[in-house]
Structure 1
Amino acid sequence: MIHVRHTAVAVVPVDLAFAHIDDYRNVPDWMFGITRFDPLGDPDRGLGARYDTTMQIGPKALKSTVEITEWEQDRLITLSSVAGFGNRSTWMFTPVGDDHTELSVDFGYELPGGLAGRALGKLVEPFVVTAIKQTEANLRGQIEAAGR
C-alpha cells in the first residue's frame, strides 16, 4: 500500500470547502488524473454513494468503483474502493478562524502483487506525489475563487 498525506490551508470558510469537494461533479476538475467520476444510482452524495471512476496514469487507465464510507457534514469524507483498482482517500476539514480551512488528505493505493504490481508501482509512485501536489493546488484555487 502506498500512502501519501498532505495538508494545506485554503482562504475559504469550511462549509464552502466541504461543499466543493462533496459535489461529485467537481471531482474531475480538481483531482489530478481523474477522467471519470460518475454516480452509480442513489444516493449520489453522502454516506453510501457510489461512483464509477477512471484515473489516467501515463498510458494506463485504472478503473475503480468507490463508495463514500465515512461522511460528516463540514468535517470528513472518506472514499473507499469496492471494486477495481484498490484505493482509499480521506478528506478532513478543520476551520481555522472564520474564513480559512485546513484541508488534510490521506491517499492510499493498493497495488497487485508480482511483476505486474512492481511494474505498476514504478509508474504509480512518482505520479502520486505529483498528483497530490497538483490536486491540492487545483482544489485550493477553485474553492478560493468560488469563495470570493
Structure 2
Amino acid sequence: MTQVHHQAQLPFARERVFAYVNDYRSVPDWMFGLNKFDPLTEQTSGVGSTFDASMKLGPKTLHTKIKCTEWVENEQITLESIDGFSVSMSWSFADADAGTELSVVFDYQLPGGLAGRALGAVIEPAISGVIKHTEAELLKGVTGSDAA
C-alpha cells in the first residue's frame, strides 16, 4: 500500500472545518478528481455511513464503495473501501494557535501487473498536485461555508 501524509493549518475553528469536511455534499467540491460521492445508506455521517465514490485521475476513473469506520465529532473521520479501488482516508482535526491543524493520511493500493503499473504512472506523479489542489479548495470551501 502507498501512504501519503499531509498537514495543513486552516484559519477557522475546528468545529467549522470538521462540519464542512463531514458534509458529504461538499466533498466533490474540494476533493480533487472526485466526481461522485453518493450516500448508499440513510445515515450520511458517522460510523456505518457508506458512499459510492468515483474519482477521475488522468484518463482513468476509479470506482469504490467506502464506509466510515471511525468518527469522533470535531476530531476524526476515517473512511475505508469495502469494494472497488482499495483506499482509506483518515482526517484528524486539532486546535491550533491560528485555527485548526488538519492532518490527512491517504492509503491506496494499486492492482498488480500491467494495469497497476499503468495506473501508478498516472497517479504517483500527480499526488503532490492533488494534495495542493485539495487543500486550496478545502480552504476556499470552508471560507464560503455557513458552517458554524
- Structure 2 unaligned runs (5+)? none
SS in 2 for 1:41: coil
Q: Which moved more, 1:74-83 or 1:41-50?
A: 41-50
- Residue 52 of structure 1 is matched in structure 2 by 52
> In the TM superposition, what whole-angstrom CA distance separates every residue of 1:13-32 from its partner, at most 9, and x where no partner exists?
00000000000000000000
| TM-score after normalising by structure 2 | 0.94
2-structure distance, mates of 1:91, 1:6: 10
What's 1:26 paired with?
26
Partner of 2:94: 94
Say how many residue pairs are matched.
147
Stretches of structure 1 lacking an aligned partner (at least 5 in a row)? none
Q: Report the aligned-residue RMSD.
A: 1.4
Counterpart in 2 of 1:7? 7
Letter of the 2:76 counterpart: L
SS of the residue corresponding to residue 119 of structure 2 reads helix
- Residue 128 of structure 1, CA deviation: 2.0
For residues 53 and 86 of structure 1, the distance between their equivalents in structure 2, rounded to whole angstroms, comes to 12
1:96 Cα deviation from its structure 2 partner: 1.2
Secondary structure of 1:36's match? strand
Q: What TM-score do you get using the length of structure 1 for normalisation?
A: 0.94
Q: How far apart are 1:121 and its partner, in Å?
A: 0.7
Q: In structure 1, how many angstroms separate the alpha carbons of the residues matched to 2:95 and 2:140?
A: 17
Whole-angstrom CA distance in 2 between matches of 1:55 and 1:127: 13
1:79 counterpart residue number: 79
Shift in Å, 1:143: 1.0
Paired with 1:46 and 1:72, the residues of 2 have a C-alpha distance of 8
In 2, the alpha carbon distance for the partners of 1:142 and 1:93 equals 16
Identity of aligned residues (%): 44
